[in-house]
């Protein structure tokens, strides 16, 4: 006999069983319903992209994390013998692989916009919910295949778009019942800071260092800045920025003071002021905090930067994004500004789980199971089962008239709340014994009464 | 300046833009709603599977059509130099690739069932809607990435499951408004035929030949059978089977006559009789035809075989499936019978398109667009826009108070049926000019009146 292998899946990937799927669908459906109310339109792009589209877009490290697909057929036939002899994996890859799995939804979106520019209405408001793949080292909470859930407006400079994204964050988490804080920053302020302290070429270093403030503390940040070649005078000028206090408006005032001679800095401050004053009038319930330490890793943001954290669960950012001024430039369509955010479905899943916030209706599937004592009863059931379904109630007939205990245990295992027991007596009287599985209560009802009862319970 | 490449996607793949996505979502949502009413539970499996799971499951040709993923890192380091020197693509593949993209949903489902057997309730009723990938030569209607939409019951021998799948087909196409015929056959009858004509080892050849009856005609089928080594006497015995007439019951009678001494054949006939008589009592609108020429390519079916064709559009099968007795055996869990069908979303899309059957509600997105003359008006609009959304109506605010013509052309391009025009006058009087884009009609309404009007129009 051939050895039979225990089946498994690639590391870093997951199966989603029925109970996980209903929860995941609840998350995606909720987010989608909000996106649609705001007029965003869904698109989907293929899982595979040409490597020429993907390579060089995520830095050197990102290129390594791309899953590459082996060309079909005799892929070695035209490969230079030297490459093979030298076992030069790095350079061989280009010769034997032309496609890769998408790494995020942002680059495919940029590619999509450029490719279909003539068919799209701008500003183009799109959302996209699809998996992405990264050959990262798998660990708790980090997967090699995971969903991203992106919403972007491209082709408009208006700050109304930033406001709209904040409204969407507010609405989504209100629907979930998750209390969140939205942190906001502006890349122009970061640039202004670099300019104002006399180190305009050091913006990235300053940004990276500020980003670590929470983790390593102010002394280490200052040390890192010095290591990066920042003058002591510049580091001193930076200190008020690292210890802002008060509410958002007060903080903006203190920053404005430091940046009084920086045009780009003042632009950033004005953008945030407009956003804050507009949001204020909308009376959103979400907490919004100006946070200069918010820089995010991605270096393509040019204006607003967002990050959302759950207030009642210790977990990283559950939503983030920002404005980018030239996303499509890499594909030859320049001068198009966009702004977008991405919802982290996996983390939202964990937050809802930990806070036990899934609505019962979202996790229930079949409401009624018909169980029978024989084939004649089964046949009698069929029309009744169909009637229950026609009333919009999810209903099953246990397919085999086997031992009652087995049928009941199926109902229990599936968390089906009601069971219709049908034996000879039921068939003769055209009455069904409806059993409430939680209470054990049982009542004899006509099929119409069963449907009415289930609609109200 | 660097040459900028025109962006493109891998051949055989597709982008789905907004208008395609609403139609696709309508298809998937409709099918899912029926699956759920019948108590089927959704699962998802990862896009990538271990090649050990996939290889050898689809025949030699299938192995070649699997997309294989290059191992990460220095994948050549441990490869035998000979393989490289000989440019032996075929044998190198196993050394440099461990994972592949799934080819269908059936093998991953079997793997899933075996891997999670202890967490599942049997009979396990699952559905799965996910893309699959095949390195096929792309052509019209054949893609390298496409969705499958599978529904299966595993762990039950009852013919009630076959009946249920037929009900599902009936309900799904009734919801779509597509008139279809369901062809049904039974693999046991095919085996019985081979047995009855004295060629039990030739079942596959007979089946393949019968499958071609529609395409090549009876003479060529007989010729092919002779070429395959079938005795002339066997071919003669087969003729009544190739020219059945009458309704399903009459046809079953004629077949039964030929198969009177074949136990397996009689089993198949009895199964179909049970299915027909049960379905009859349900009064389904779907046309059901016994069709012995229906054999389908896949050779794992052991009982019922289904295929669905649209009556009003010339297109191949839009749904198909059957019963398989040992799907999970390949992963070490034997004796588990299942039955399932798969809906072909791409072809259903084409049928709905050609028959113009998409409901208007399913293809509409944003219902109302606010257009403004200035930033003050924009800010005034925000609360009104929010009120419309709070009423469940998809609504947008054009993000820039640019030329009216541009804003209106956006509404037209997006097929937004109503526009709210807001200028100084509207702000002062707290009335909104609501314009019907189809008729040009315009009326001055309060925001509450706008909401009421849109709810009823």
pLDDT tens for residues B303-349? 999 999 999 999 999 999 999 988 899 899 999 999 999 999 999 99
CA distances for B13 relative to A172, A234, B139, B146, angstroms: 32, 53, 11, 8
Q: What is the pLDDT of residue A103?
A: 96
Neighbours of B454 (CB within 10 A): 21
Interface mutation vs chain A, best among B164, B399, B410, B411, most A CBs within 10 Å: B399
State which residue of chain A sits closest to B102, comparing Cα positions.
Answer: A9
B positions 117-176 inside 8 Å of A (CB): 119-123, 125-126, 131, 133, 135, 144-145, 153, 156-158, 160-161, 163-164, 167, 171
Per-residue b or e along A375-384, where b marks 16 or more CB atoms closer than 10 Å to that residue's CB:
eebbbbbbeb
Reported as type and span, the H/E element at residue A434 is: strand A432-436
Residue B103 buriedness (CB in 10 A; 0-12 / 13-18 / 19+)? buried
Q: What is the pLDDT of residues B126-170, one digit of tens each?
A: 999 999 999 999 998 899 999 999 999 999 999 999 999 999 999
Place A206 in a pLDDT band, splitting at 50, 70 and 90. Answer: confident
What pLDDT shows up at residue A63? 93
Closest approach of A417 to chain B, Cα-based (Å): 13
Q: Is A332 on the interface with B (CB under 8 A)?
A: yes
- Please name the residues between 35 and 64 in chain A that touch chain B, using a CB distance below 8 Å: 36-39, 41-50, 52-53, 64
Q: What is the mean pLDDT of chain B?
A: 93
Judged by a CB distance cut-off of 8 A, whether residue B376 touches chain A is no
- Hey, of B6, B52, B70, which one would you mutate to test binding to chain A, going by the most A CBs within 10 A of its CB? B70
Instruction: Decide if B93 and A70 are in contact by the 8 Å CB cutoff.
Output: yes
User: Any chain A CB within 8 A of the CB of B216?
Assistant: no
Secondary structure of chain A: what % helix, strand, coil (to 5)? 45, 20, 35
pLDDT band at residue B361, thresholds of 50, 70 and 90?
Answer: confident
Q: What distance in Å separates residue A310's CA from the closest CA in chain B?
A: 24
Across B21-32, average pLDDT: 96
Tell if the CB–CB gap between B70 and A93 is shorter than 8 Å: yes
Tokens of B273: 């009789």
Residues sharing a CB contact under 8 Å with residue B280, sequence separation 6 or more, in sequence order: none
A382 touches chain B (CB under 8 A): yes
Using an 8 Å Cβ cutoff, are B264 and B191 in contact? yes
**pLDDT at residue number A280:** 92
> Which residues in B lie closer than 8 A to residue A2 (C-beta atoms)?
none
**pLDDT value at A299 more than 90:** no
C-alpha A5: how far from chain center: 35
Chain B residues near residue A286 by CB distance under 8 angstroms: none
Chain B, window 230-249: residues with a beta carbon less than 8 angstroms from a chain A beta carbon: none
Query: b/e per residue, A329-349, with b = 16+ CB within 10 A?
Result: bbbebeebbbbbbbbbbbbbb
A55 pairs with which residues across the strands?
Answer: none
- pLDDT surpasses 70 at A320: yes
Termini Cα distance of chain A: 54
Token reading at A61: 């490290």
Q: Where are the alpha helices (DSSP H) in A38-104?
A: 51-54, 59-65, 81-85, 89-96
Residues above pLDDT 90, as percent of chain B: 81
Query: Of the spans A146-160, B78-92, B223-237, which averages the highest pLDDT?
Result: A146-160
Residues sharing a CB contact under 8 Å with residue A23, sequence separation 6 or more, in sequence order: A349, A352, A353, A358, A362, A363
What local confidence, expressed as pLDDT, does residue A292 receive?
A: 86
Q: Does A376 touch chain B (CB under 8 A)?
A: no
Could B125 and A396 be called an inter-chain contact, meaning their C-beta atoms sit closer than 8 Å?
yes
pLDDT > 80? residue B297: no
| pLDDT averaged over every residue in chain A | 93
CB contact under 8 A, A87 and B84: yes
- Spatial CB neighbours of B235, under 8 Å, sequence gap ≥ 6: B197, B222, B225, B226
Q: What is the pLDDT of residue B10?
A: 97
Is 60 exceeded by the pLDDT of residue A2? Answer: no
User: Considering only alpha carbons, which residue of chain B is nearest residue A98?
Assistant: B10
Confidence tier at A213 by pLDDT (50, 70, 90)? confident
Banded pLDDT at B1 (limits 50, 70, 90)? very low
Indicate the burial class of A3 (C-beta count within 10 angstroms; 0-12, 13-18, 19 or more): exposed
Q: Does B414 touch chain A (CB under 8 A)?
A: yes
Residues from chain B contacting residue A48 (CB–CB below 8 Å)? 9-10, 13, 67, 133, 144-145
- What are A437-448's pLDDT values in tens digits? 999 999 999 999
CB neighbour list of residue B166: distance below 8 Å, 6 or more residues apart: B182, B184, B275, B279, B284, B286, B288, B306
Q: Please report which confidence band the pLDDT of residue A5 belongs to, taking 50, 70 and 90 as the band edges.
A: low
A7 in B contact zone (CB under 8 Å): yes
**Interatomic CA distance for residues A258 and A166, integer angstroms:** 27
What distance lies between CA B104 and its chain's CA centroid? 11
Which of A141, A136, A173, A120 lies closest to A333 in space, CA to CA? A120
- Tell me which chain A residues have a C-beta less than 8 angstroms from the C-beta of B24: 44
When pLDDT is cut at 50, 70 and 90, the band that residue A337 belongs to is very high
Per cent of chain B over pLDDT 70 is 98
**pLDDT above 90 (res A1):** no
**Cα(B211)–Cα(B292) distance, integer angstroms:** 8
Interface check for B99 against chain A (CB to CB < 8 A): the answer is yes
For residue A327, what pLDDT is reported?
Answer: 87
Size of interface A-B (CB pairs under 8 A): 303
Q: Examine the pLDDT at A130 and tell me if it is beyond 50.
A: yes
Nearest to A145 among B48, B74, B88 (CB): B48
Contact criterion met (CB < 8 Å) for B145 and A39 = no
Interacting residues of B381 by C-beta distance below 8 A, sequence separation 6+: B370, B372, B397, B420, B422
C-alpha distances out from residue B343 to A21, A308, A313, B441, Å: 20, 40, 41, 44
Whether B432 shows a pLDDT value over 80: the answer reads yes
Chain A positions touching B37 (Cβ under 8 A) are: 389, 392-395
Contact A4/B331, CB-based, under 8 Å? yes
CB neighbours of residue B257 within 10 Å: 10
Q: Does B436 touch chain A (CB under 8 A)?
A: no
Q: Is A45 left (phi over 0), alpha (psi -120 to 50) or beta?
A: beta
pTM of the model: 0.94
Of A10, A65, A386, the CB nearest to B46: A10
Adjacent-strand bridge partners of B184: B290, B306
Q: Supply the DSSP string of B207-230, one letter for each residue.
A: HHHHHTHHHHHHHHHHHHHHHTT-
- Statement: residue A6 has pLDDT above 70: yes
Residue A292: name the closest of A228, A245, A227, A342 by CA: A245
For residue B442, give the H/E element and its range.
Answer: strand B442-445
Chain B closest CA to A199's CA: distance in Å?
29
Name the pLDDT band for B213 (thresholds 50, 70, 90): confident
Band of residue A164 on the pLDDT scale cut at 50, 70, 90 = very high
CA distance B154 to B111: 13
A171 has pLDDT over 60: yes
Question: Cβ–Cβ of B164/A399 closer than 8 Å?
Answer: yes
Q: Which of B15, B46, B145 sits opposite A14 (nearest CB)?
A: B46
Identify the pLDDT of residue B44: 98
Does the beta-carbon distance from A394 to B38 stay under 8 Å? yes
Instruction: Provide the shortest C-alpha distance from residue B167 to chain A (in Å).
Output: 9
B389 vs A38: CB contact, 8 Å cut-off? Answer: yes
Q: In sequence order, what are the residues at sequence separation of 6 or more whose Cβ sits closer than 8 angstroms to the Cβ of residue B440?
A: none
């Amino acid at each position: 006999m051939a050895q039979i292998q225990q089946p498994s899946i690639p590391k870093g990937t997951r199966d989603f069983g029925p109970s996980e799927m209903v929860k995941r669908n609840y998350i995606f459906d909720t987010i989608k319903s909000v996106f649609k109310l705001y007029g965003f339109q869904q698109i989907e792009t293929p899982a595979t992209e040409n490597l020429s589209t993907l390579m060089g877009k995520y830095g050197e490290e990102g290129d390594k994390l791309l899953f590459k697909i082996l060309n079909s057929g005799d892929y070695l036939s035209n490969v230079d013998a030297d490459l093979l002899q030298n076992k030069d994996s790095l350079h061989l890859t280009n010769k034997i692989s032309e496609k890769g799995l998408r790494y995020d939804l942002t680059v495919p979106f940029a590619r999509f916009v450029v490719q279909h520019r003539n068919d799209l209405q701008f500003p183009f408001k799109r959302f996209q919910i699809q998996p992405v793949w990264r050959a990262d080292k798998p660990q708790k909470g980090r997967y090699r295949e995971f969903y991203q859930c992106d919403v972007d407006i491209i082709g408009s400079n208006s700050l109304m778009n930033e406001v709209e994204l904040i409204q969407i964050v507010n609405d989504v988490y209100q629907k979930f019942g998750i209390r969140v804080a939205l942190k906001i920053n502006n890349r122009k302020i970061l640039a202004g800071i670099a300019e104002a302290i006399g180190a305009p070429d050091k913006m990235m270093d300053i940004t990276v260092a500020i980003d670590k403030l929470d983790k390593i503390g102010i002394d280490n940040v200052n040390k890192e800045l010095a290591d990066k070649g920042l003058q002591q005078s510049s580091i001193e000028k930076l200190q008020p920025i690292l210890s802002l206090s008060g509410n958002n408006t007060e903080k903006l005032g203190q920053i404005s003071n430091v940046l009084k001679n920086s045009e780009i800095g003042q632009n950033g401050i004005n953008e945030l002021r407009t956003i804050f004053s507009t949001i204020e009038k909308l009376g959103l319930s979400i907490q919004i905090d100006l946070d200069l330490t918010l820089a995010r890793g991605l270096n393509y943001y040019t204006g607003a930067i967002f990050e959302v954290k759950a207030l009642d669960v210790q977990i990283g950012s559950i939503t983030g994004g920002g404005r980018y001024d030239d996303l499509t430039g890499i594909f030859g369509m320049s001068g198009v500004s966009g702004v977008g955010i991405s919802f982290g479905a996996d983390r939202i899943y964990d937050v809802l789980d930990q806070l036990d916030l899934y609505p019962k209706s979202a996790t229930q599937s079949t409401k009624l199971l018909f169980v029978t004592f024989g084939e004649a009863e089964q046949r009698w059931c069929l029309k009744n089962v169909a009637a229950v379904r026609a009333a919009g109630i999810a209903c099953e007939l246990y397919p085999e008239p086997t031992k009652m205990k087995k049928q009941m245990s199926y109902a229990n295992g599936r968390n089906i709340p009601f069971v219709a027991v049908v034996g000879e007596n039921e068939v003769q009287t055209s009455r069904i014994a409806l059993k409430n599985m939680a209470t054990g209560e049982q009542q004899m009802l006509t099929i119409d009464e069963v449907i009415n009862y289930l609609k109200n319970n």
